[in-house]
Amino acid sequence: MAATEEATGPLRGAQQAYVEQKVRLLGGLGSTKRLLSDIRVFNKDSWTIRYPKLSTKAEGAEPSPKRRGVRRSLSFMDDPSSETDVILERSLTRSLTLASIADAQENDAGESPSDPDVGGRLIPESEVSDFQVFRLDLNLGHHGSSAAAGALVSQLEKVSIANLVDERMAAASQHIDRLCVRVEDTSSKVLVTGDLNAGKSTFVNALLRRTVMPIDQQPCTTAFCEVHDFSENNNVEEVHVIKDTAAYDIADESTFKRVDLSDLDRIMDDEEKPSILKLYLNDSRPLNQSLLNNGVVDISLIDAPGLNRDSVKTTALFARQEEIDVVVFVVSAENHLTESARNFLKNASNEKAYLFVVVNKFDQIKNKEKCRRMVLEQIKELSPRTYEDANDLVHFVDSLLGKDDPSFEDLEASLRSFVLVKRAKSKLNPASTYLSNLLSDIELLVGANAIVAQAEIAHAKGDLDAARPVLERMKNSREALEEALESVEEQGARSASSKTQRTLTNALDRVGQGLPGLSSVQMPSYPGLLNLLDYARDVRKALVTSLDMAVKLSEDEARVIASSGVQEVLTLGDEYLPEGVERSRRVFMPEAMFSTRRTRDGKRRVRSNSAVVAGGTLGLGIGLAARQEMLQPTFLDLLDAPHNLWIYFCGGKEGEEEKEQSAIGIVSVAIGVVTMIGGKSIGLHGFVEGVMHITNILSDESTRKWGAAILGTFAVGTAAYLVLELPNSVPRTIGRRIHYSLVCPAGGPGPKEELFVDAHVARVARETRKVLRLASWDLKERFRIAMDERSREVRGAEETERRAIRAKEWFTEVGQRTADIRELAGLVSLS
Ligand SMILES: Nc1nc2c(ncn2[C@@H]2O[C@H](COP(=O)(O)OP(=O)(O)OP(=O)(O)O)[C@@H](O)[C@H]2O)c(=O)[nH]1
């Protein structure tokens, strides 16, 4: 573009300043893009970013007069119920401090003089607590949809919210790319928009000093009409009708349709209404007066359809597009700001910060002062920065009069200055405003997340303080517990074994003497010689049963020992297991000890060697009394010849009394034989006759006379003795035989193994040990699991603490980086 010295001279200084600021801003945008990328990586790999919500507290919301910050209640989208008091400071950067810490610092500061800049927040109070760029409310409208969206988001999980924030950051990063393109672009686009019929086309025509745009009392602008200097179109004035803006290429005829300028009215009225038109016009005014042909920057004016014609959204979106540098908002003074105008201004001011407002048809207003006041009040609320610069940015004019209205001249000068001289404002400010908002959002995000990290550090420390000592104690006491359990097991088994040994040895000794193993067992009464065999059977059964009962007694004693052992194990559990660990819920059932297992077919399975090991007759397994060979009386039960012979001839070890008895016993052998042979049918009479008969054969007459008498007397005496002695000798004989069979079951004078006693001792000890081992195994398992859990807890808390410390450091670093970027991009002051 050719520029004359006259036009460029006064603008050169501003241009240079602009270039410098542009370079700084581009640097800031680049750094912010890298920062965003780092935050996204951190969000993905190291820390799920939480999305904060700051709300005003009903009470105590006001800050201390000494403080620049405001008190807010911090909560998070994924956990709206838990709130923390924070102080939000907004000076050059936005920072969050826990209220408790800020209060403490304030107290430490003592009676320091009040900050003169109290409440000097640089962005409006309403915006200070909220996100501008990362706001998760997609609908920017005013219809209260944000509350619904907030409620929806609060249902989402942390990760989903972090993903939404990530999407925002990705979008911000792309927006930065577009901003960079725009900042580097030398052209400036001025969008003229406003309510329907506000006089936008009239105003554009007045600026161009020619009637180009169709004007009507009826709403008539249906297309976006972009007005460019005709130098961009080879100095040819014409209209290009465009279907697709993105595809439009001035060098490619297929992307547009050429139309003569004089046909503009006709195209607008066409049935197939175009949506975008490019008008190339010759503004023949001198460079220092012309807006389009100004010698510094390529300006294009865009006359947009009235807001209420198209949907508010379309125009609002258009206004937010990055190629728009300046928004000129035309308001009809007759209507003030309509609702759609207010919506538009509110949203556009977020994006642009400064808006150029033309209050048109001011000539129609009678009470001009009142109108001016009311419009300015509305602007103050909607775009505070525009209001701050109202003298330059808000103009009350009559566009119909155009250049003939002195106010219009002021407007033109301000607009030229706004677009050209204050180019930084019109061109760079949208980018720096966006950058500043973005950095503020990052600061709010990392500030809140640093608070979360701090809370996690404290929480992890608390967990570690609680779990570490418990774990240490468990590690140190593990060996002691194992030893104690082993001792319980050992002592229980030993005690059961020695008790059983004593009980059974005692019982077996008594049985060996013909007495019942346990005194509680009744011996059968002697039924007489004729029922001797039954008597022997009953005696045998009683003795055997008494042994079974002794076994049962041993088992009962073992149950008591096992019970107290199990109790000891439980006490050890209480002593060694940490609090909160569930104690054993196993119930020890003594009656289950020594039970036989049943096989699948329901038959009993005897686990021990059936030769001598028995549980007794009382349902405790196969006892001696259940074994037929033990109950079956034999001849030897009555007259134990081998025993008596052994004792008598071999001297034995028994005492004298035993010897005397044995002498008689020898005699009894013969009688016994006869008795057994004759049994009940022969009887004593037959026996005496038999003896006489024998002596008849063996002796002569003289001896027969004496011998018969002697023999008769001897036999009768012996028989009488036997009859009297049998009730005592039979139990002794049977007892001795049972005793013998249980100590030498294989028969014969083999090694004197105490098989009966030993086997039961081993069995009872084994069963007792089994019970105690199970109880101690259970406790050991609980202890091991509890220790593993504590180890895991400690490791988890250590990991959380490490992660949170790293995150906190990282967030602090990010806070520093945003401050540096502000410095670099020249955003130190947002005014
Ligand atoms: N008195 C007076 N009338 C004006 C002024 N500006 C525009 N008008 C009239 O207002 C009516 C609408 O003007 P336009 O310029 O077509 O308005 P617009 O905003 O472009 O209309 P649409 O594009 O259709 O929304 C016309 O009849 C104009 O003559 C003004 O400053 N004073």
Residue 464 has a pLDDT of 93
Mean pLDDT of 17-26: 85
DSSP, residue by residue, 570-589: HHHHHHHSPTTSPPP-PPP-
Nearest to 291 by CA among 386, 214, 356, 343: 356
Q: Residue 399 C-alpha to ligand 1 middle, in angstroms?
A: 8
Closest by CA to 279, choosing from 249, 251, 305, 300, is 300
Q: Which two tokens stand for residue 658?
A: 């035993």
Measured between alpha carbons, how far is 757 from 745 in angstroms, rounded to an integer? 12
Q: How confident is the model at residue 115 (pLDDT cuts 50, 70, 90)?
A: very low
The predicted model gives 357-372 an average pLDDT of: 92
Q: How far is the CA of 199 from the centre of ligand 1 (A)?
A: 3
- Any ligand 1 atom below 6 A from CB of 360: yes
State the average pLDDT for the chain: 77
pLDDT of residue 15: 62
pLDDT of 551 reads: 92
- pLDDT value at position 715? 78
User: Cα separation of 174 and 769, whole Å?
Assistant: 75
Q: State pLDDT tens for residues 268-282.
A: 777 677 778 899 998
C-alpha to C-alpha distance for 215 and 201, rounded to whole angstroms: 6
Q: Is the CB of 335 under 6 A from ligand 1?
A: no
Q: Is the pLDDT of residue 692 over 90?
A: no
Contact 644, 662 (CB under 8 A): yes
Is there an atom of ligand 1 within 6 Å of 199 CB? yes
pLDDT given for residue 218 in this prediction: 65
Atom number of ligand 1 nearest to Cα 398:
31
Most confident of 526-535, 702-711, 821-830: 526-535
The values of phi and psi at residue 198, to 5°, are -80, -15
Distance 192 CA to ligand 1 centre (A): 13
Q: Is the pLDDT of residue 354 over 70?
A: yes
The 10s digit of each residue's pLDDT in 512-553 is: 998 999 988 889 888 877 888 888 889 988 998 999 999 999
Which protein residue's CA is at the shortest distance from atom 26 of ligand 1? Answer: 217
Element (H, E) at 402: none
Q: How far is the CA of 208 from the centre of ligand 1 (A)?
A: 15
Least confident of 99-113, 472-486, 720-734: 99-113
Structure tokens at 810: 């990282």
Token code pair at residue 720: 């009488």
pLDDT at site 558: 95
The one-letter amino acid at 135: R
* Residue of minimum CA distance from atom 8 in ligand 1: 199
- Nearest Cα residue to 191 out of 102, 341, 318, 91: 318
The residue among 122, 32, 95 whose CA lies nearest residue 821 is: 32
Name the residue with higher pLDDT: 91 or 229: 229
Determine contact, residues 54/86, Cβ cutoff 8 Å: yes
Residue of higher predicted confidence among 119 and 234: 234
Radius of gyration of the chain (CA): 57
pLDDT score, position 371: 92
Ordered strands of the 276-281 beta sheet: 256-259, 238-242, 276-281, 224-229, 298-303, 187-194, 324-332, 356-360, 394-396
Residue 560 has pLDDT above 90, yes or no: yes
Instruction: Using most ligand atoms within 8 A of CB, pick from 207, 215, 277, 315 the residue to mutate for ligand 1.
Output: 215
Residue 192 CA to its chain's centroid (Å): 55
Separation of 206 CA from ligand 1 center, angstroms? 11
Q: To 10 degrees, the CA torsion angle through 64, 68, 73, 79?
A: -150
Per-residue pLDDT, 809: 95
Tell me the average pLDDT across 127-141. 64
pLDDT band at 554 (very low <50, low <70, confident <90, very high): very high
| Helix H or strand E segment including 88 | strand 79-90
DSSP string, 4-16: -HHHHHHHHHHHH
Ligand 1: which residue has its CA nearest to atom 9?
199
Lowest mean pLDDT among 12-16, 139-143, 360-364, 413-417: 139-143
CB of 198 within 6 A of ligand 1: the answer is yes
Residue 200 Cα to ligand 1 midpoint, Å, equals: 6
- pLDDT for residue 703: 61
For residue 270, the CA-to-ligand 1 centroid distance in Å is 21
SS3 label, residue 524:
coil
Give me the pLDDT at residue 78, please: 77
The arithmetic mean of pLDDT across residues 650-655, rounded, is 45
Q: How confident is the model at residue 771 (pLDDT cuts 50, 70, 90)?
A: very high
pLDDT at 615 over 80: no
Query: Which span out of 95-99, 279-283, 725-729 was modeled with the highest average pLDDT?
Result: 279-283
- Ligand 1 atom 23 nearest Cα: 221
Q: Using the mean position of ligand 1's atoms as its centre, give its distance from the Cα of residue 201 in Å.
A: 7
Alpha helices in 639-655 (DSSP H): 641-650
- Atom of ligand 1 at shortest range from CA of 364: 1
Residue 270 φ/ψ region, left for φ over 0, alpha for ψ in the -120 to 50 degree band, beta for the rest: beta
pLDDT classification of 422: cutoffs 50, 70, 90? low
The total of other beta-carbon atoms located within 10 Å of residue 109's CB is 10
Pairing of strands 394-396, 187-194: unpaired
219 lines ligand 1 (CB under 6 A): yes
Please give the single-letter amino acid code of residue 763: R
Q: Ligand 1 pocket, 304 CB below 6 A?
A: no
Please report which helix (H) or strand (E) contains residue 177, including its range. helix 158-184
Sequence-ordered strand ranges (E) for 304-383: 324-332, 356-360
Ligand 1 midpoint to CA 427 (Å): 28
Whether ligand 1 lies within 6 angstroms of the CB of 437 is answered as: no
Cα torsion through 172, 174, 179, 181, rounded to 10: 170
DSSP string, 47-69: -----EEEE--SSS-SPPTT-SS
Q: How many CB atoms lie within 10 A of CB 829?
A: 9
Lowest mean pLDDT among 84-93, 672-681, 693-702: 672-681
ipTM of the complex: 0.97
- If pLDDT is split at 50, 70 and 90, which confidence band does 753 have? very low
Question: What does the alpha-carbon distance between residue 84 and residue 98 come to, in Å, rounded to a whole number?
Answer: 8
Q: In whole angstroms, what is the distance from residue 180 CA to residue 197 CA?
A: 35
| Atom of ligand 1 minimally distant from the CA of 221 | 23
CB 663, CB 654: distance < 8 Å: no
* Rounded distance from Cα 363 to ligand 1 centre (Å): 12
Ligand 1 contacts CB of residue 399 (under 6 A): yes
At the second CATH level, the architecture of 185-421 is 3-Layer(aba) Sandwich (3.40)
Say yes or no to pLDDT of 3 above 60.
no
Residues of the chain with CATH 3.40.50.300: 185-421
400/427: higher pLDDT: 400
The residue to which tokens 């196993």 are assigned: 586
Give 127's pLDDT tier (boundaries 50, 70, 90).
Answer: low
Q: Is the CB of 401 under 6 A from ligand 1?
A: no
* Cα gap 228→278, rounded to integer Å: 7
Q: In this model, does residue 141 exceed pLDDT 50?
A: no
For the cut 90, the answer to whether the pLDDT of residue 506 exceeds it is: yes
465 lines ligand 1 (CB under 6 A): no
Q: How many Cα atoms within 13 Å fall on the side-chain side of residue 73? A: 12
Residue 360 C-alpha to ligand 1 middle, in angstroms? Answer: 8
- Which residue has a Cα nearest atom 10 of ligand 1? 199
Instruction: Say yes or no to pLDDT of 829 above 60.
Output: no
Q: pLDDT grade, residue 308 (50/70/90)?
A: low
Q: Residues 309, 196: contact at Cβ < 8 Å?
A: yes
- Please report which confidence band the pLDDT of residue 655 belongs to, taking 50, 70 and 90 as the band edges: very low
Cα(273) to centroid(ligand 1), Å? 20
Q: Which residue has the higher pLDDT, 364 or 12?
A: 364
pLDDT score for 77? 76
Residue 797 has pLDDT above 50, yes or no: yes
Instruction: Label residue 369 by pLDDT band (50, 70, 90).
Output: very high
Q: Quote the tokens at residue 430.
A: 């949208």
Q: Which atom of ligand 1 is nearest to the CA of 306?
A: 25
Higher-confidence residue of 649 and 167: namely: 167
Top pLDDT among 174 and 2 is at 174
Residue with the smallest CA separation from ligand 1 atom 21 is 197
Q: Which tens digit of pLDDT belongs to each residue from 200-226?
A: 889 999 988 888 888 876 666 667 888
The predicted model gives 431-450 an average pLDDT of 91
Higher-scoring residue by pLDDT: 698, 249: 249
Q: What percent of the chain has pLDDT over 90?
A: 31
CA torsion angle for 529, 532, 538, 539 (degrees, to 10)?
Answer: 80
pLDDT in tens, 338-353: 888 888 888 777 777 6
Decide whether any atom of ligand 1 lies within 6 Å of the 205 Cβ.
no
Distance 215 CA to ligand 1 centre (A): 7
Ligand 1 site, residue 404, Cβ cutoff 6 A: no
pLDDT of residue 656: 38
